[in-house]
Homo-oligomer: A and B are copies of this chain.
Amino acid sequence: MGQQNLRATAKLHSLNAALESGALQQVRRILNGGLAPAEVAHLIESSPPKVRKILWELIDKENEGEILQDLSDEISAYFLNEMSAEELVDLTSDLDTDDVADLLQQLPERVTRQVLSSMDSEDRSRLESVLSYPEDSAGGLMNTDTVTVRPDITLDVVLRYLRRHRSLPEMTDNLLVVNRNDEFIGTLPINKLLVSDLNQTVREVMTTECQIIPAQMDEEEVAKIFERHDLVSAPVVDAKGKLLGRITIDDVVDVIRDTADHSLMSMAGLDEEDTFAPAFKTGRRRAIWLGINLLTAFIASAVIGLFDQTIEKLVALAVLMPIVASMGGIAGSQVLTLVIRGQALGHISGNNIGWLMNRELTVGFFNGLLWAAVIAGITMLWFNDFQLAWIIAAAIVINLLIAALSGAALPILLKHQGIDPALAGGVILTTITDVVGFFSFLGLATLFYL
């Protein structure tokens, strides 16, 4: 079963075959018939740059808008910047306000103004209201397609009003109840409208216990509220309580996906959201990250350089020293990742950071003892040098303790300074564990061998 999905997969296969054989008319037919906009967007994102351009050319004008909003910002910006202002006006005429706002935010201001001035005044003022909030706030995420009702009318009147309009915006699970000043006072769930006595007034049936989103709220905070209260949509209000629009779960899902993605990508120094970006673009971004890491690698080398005479006397130190640094790096990264994720989920606060730090030091100490013993044993077998064995054991315990401390404290300190822990944490952490690892191991060796 699941004919729809099987059909889509089959279409994707035949499309790939058609692309490879150069049957462009067939590709055009598949792209514009039957594949959902999000499926076409996924196909474009999964293609190298040249194929992308071919696919885009083959898409009918009237489908472009829907597909653009499903593409990642980077790719949609590329296509948008190739368009004339007239094409943009056509493109945006069928889209939701929040989606038009997302697209406009990727364009130069001159073009944005041109698109805005082409709209009728109602659409323009709606769009300007969305554009006046940051893209990553509730205001930037909201849509203005609310269906509002007054509290003092009966459900019967509401139903007749809806029947006259013949369609409701997608993801409408609630009608929004406002007073004569457009201030939000409650929601009328569609499902209640269906099952309630039609002679009741909206006020009698409406819910006032609902989640109201202030327009300034950060989008990640919005996502948490949607997750905790299992919402499909929620009203957005300004500082005075005036209803501005609503946020729907489909846009929140994108926020959740992007937020989770962000930590993973940042920890590897990747800010690219595009798997198939051209080599030059990718290479330039990666080069910067490699440069930053080179700096930290030279710091570690300088520490080793301090002890070159000790290493000359006992070359086994050079053989074993990467083990001390590496164990510290691994142990520290585990703590760092755990804390960064705890921060993202909102688990970590002033109340429990003390407990967490305490646990990590305990874990670091006992794992330090365990693996110090194993490493000391192997060192004895390999080099038959008792002094070397206890020196590396001591260095391991020291480095694992420092790794636990840094892994737990760094994200807290960085966040406090307004620096993204996922981006900067790993580099700083491995610099610390490298320096401490090499310094403690080679330093102890210098004390006892020279």
Contact A211:B4 (CB < 8 A) given known A267-B264, A294-B327: yes
Interface magnitude class on chain A: 35 or more
Whether B275 lies near A345 (C-beta < 8 A) is: yes
Please report which residues of chain A, range 230-271, place their CB below 8 angstroms from some CB of chain B when the two chains form the complex: 230, 232, 237-241, 249-250, 252-254, 256-257, 260-261, 263-265, 267-270
A371 within 8 A of B: yes
Identify 21 residue pairs between A and B in the complex whose beta-carbon atoms are under 8 Å apart, listed by A's number. A1-B238, A2-B214, A4-B209, A39-B228, A167-B191, A194-B194, A256-B257, A257-B260, A260-B261, A268-B336, A275-B341, A275-B347, A283-B363, A289-B330, A290-B330, A290-B367, A297-B322, A297-B326, A301-B320, A301-B322, A311-B315
A141 within 8 A of B: no
Counting chain B CB atoms within 10 Å of each CB, the highest count among A213, A217, A264 belongs to A264
A308 within 8 A of B: yes
Counting chain B CB atoms within 10 Å of each CB, the highest count among A319, A333, A348 belongs to A319
A45 within 8 A of B: yes
Contact A230:B330 (CB < 8 A) given known A46-B346, A347-B45: no
Residues on the B chain within 8 Å of A346, using CB: 42, 46
Residues on the B chain within 8 Å of A36, using CB: 228-229
Residues on the B chain within 8 Å of A166, using CB: 195
What 0/1 readout, one digit per residue, does chain A (296-325) give for beta carbons within 8 Å of chain B? 111011001100100110011111111101
A325 to B411, CA, bound (A): 26
- Name the CB-closest residue of B to A322: B300
Contact A308:B315 (CB < 8 A) given known A162-B194, A214-B2, A229-B36: yes
Please report which residues of chain A, range 130-183, place their CB below 8 angstroms from some CB of chain B when the two chains form the complex: 159, 162-163, 165-168, 170-173
B70, B212, B253, B293: the one contacting A326 at CB < 8 Å is: B293
A196 to B356, CA, bound (A): 58
Whether B270 lies near A334 (C-beta < 8 A) is: yes
A200 within 8 A of B: no
A119 within 8 A of B: no
A349 within 8 A of B: yes
Residues on the B chain within 8 Å of A318, using CB: 304, 308, 311, 315, 317-318, 321
B319, B352, B370: the one contacting A301 at CB < 8 Å is: B319
Whether B338 lies near A275 (C-beta < 8 A) is: yes
What 0/1 readout, one digit per residue, does chain A (333-359) give for beta carbons within 8 Å of chain B? 110111101100111110110011001
**Chain A residues near B (Cβ < 8 Å):** 1-5, 16, 36, 38-39, 42, 45-48, 70, 159, 162-163, 165-168, 170-173, 184, 190-191, 193-196, 209-214, 217, 225-230, 232, 237-241, 249-250, 252-254, 256-257, 260-261, 263-265, 267-270, 272, 275-276, 278-279, 282-283, 286-287, 289-291, 293-294, 296-298, 300-301, 304-305, 308, 311-312, 315-323, 325-327, 330-331, 333-334, 336-339, 341-342, 345-349, 351-352, 355-356, 359, 362-363, 366-367, 370-371, 374-375, 378, 434
Copies per complex of this chain: 2
A193 to B264, CA, bound (A): 44
- Name the CB-closest residue of B to A287: B367
B209, B241, B294: the one contacting A323 at CB < 8 Å is: B294
Whether A330 lies near B293 (C-beta < 8 A) is: yes
Whether B159 lies near A294 (C-beta < 8 A) is: no
